[in-house]
Structure formats: structure tokens, C-alpha cells
Amino acid sequence: MSINNLLSKKRNNIVSKAFDLIISTYPEQSRIFLKTKSNRFSNPIGYNTNQTIEQIIDNIIADEELGSFLLPLENIIQIRAVQDFTPSQAIGFIFLIKKAIYTEIHKEANSNELMELMSRIDSLALIAFDIFMKYRERIYDIKAKELIDRTWWILKKWNIVSEIDENLLETKQKNKER
């Protein structure tokens, strides 16, 4: 049996195991709640985490390209990037998915194929780091922008700062054209 067929066969077990492992990165007392993954509005962490795992596993099975992994990865990393995690904890869930896959299929899989798959999953961890940084940088941007939104209008109105007037630019441009 090819490794993709094997993954297909064990798909639900892998998803469920990976989900349990990832939820175990959260505090003990909260895990029971987080595992009620069916309602996307009352338990968005559980729902999005489960969705992400399913999509990642399905994409692996279907030999999808790297680009198709980005959206599911973003969904989960966007959440973990603002939670009580160190950067390694925030993106390390990739290794938990990897562990779930390995545990489920290593006995039946061809070892070369398995090594190859494990190595490919590692690349998701690299991409995950890029995504994590993207969202951390977004936080810093928002912090800076919030200050501007709260003050810029009034600074302009009181002539404490002055921006280049777009109308003036247009007039200049027209004068040049003449």
C-alpha cells in the first residue's frame, strides 16, 4: 500500500490524535471545553484547530502544493500568535501533527517513503515560522497605527503637522502639462 493510501485509510485517526496533542498545549482545565470542536462560534479555538488539521492532512494525502497549506496554517497560527505561548510553542504544533502521522502509520509504511514524508512535513514548520512572524509584525503595526488613529486627525487640524495636499499636487501637475 502506498503511503498516501495508508494516510487515507488512517486519516480520521491521525486527525483525532493530532487534535488531542495540539489541545494538550493548552492548560489542563480548559481542554475538555476546547475539545468540543463542533461549534465554530462558541469554541473558535477548537473549531479552527480541528479544521486546520483536517485540511493539512487532506492536502498531504492529495499531494497538494505548498501554497494550499498556507490558509489553514494561517488560521491556526493567527490564533496562537497572540496566546500565552512562546514562539516555539506557537508553531511547534506542526511536530505534533507529524508525531500523530508517524504513530499511526510507521508500522505499515515503507521506511524510505516515511522518511521522505516526515522531511516534507518539516518544511511546514519553516513556513509556520514565517506566518508567525507575519502576525507578530501585524501586532506591532497595529500598536503604532492605533496611536496615529487616536491623534493624527487632531494634530493635522491644529496645524501641528501638515501633510502634502493632493489637490495642490494635481494643480502643479496640470500647470506642468500646460
Other residues' Cβ atoms within 10 Å of the Cβ of residue 17: 19
Site string for other proteins, 55-74 (x = CB under 8 A): --------------------
Give the three cell numbers for residue 47.
473549531
Point out which span in 2-10, 51-59, 88-96, 108-116 binds other proteins (CB under 8 A).
Answer: 88-96
Contact status: 149 vs other proteins (CB under 8 A)? yes
Exactly one of 65, 107, 111, 158 binds other proteins (CB under 8 A); that residue is 158
Task: Enumerate residues 100-129 that contact other proteins by CB under 8 A.
Answer: none
Q: Considering Cα of 52, then 56, then 61, then 65, what sign does the dihedral take?
A: positive
Site string for other proteins, 7-46 (x = CB under 8 A): -------------xxx-xxxxxxx--xx----xxxxxxx-
Half-sphere exposure of 142 (CA within 13 A, CB side): 7
C-alpha distances (whole Å) from 164 to each of 32, 45, 156 are 56, 45, 11
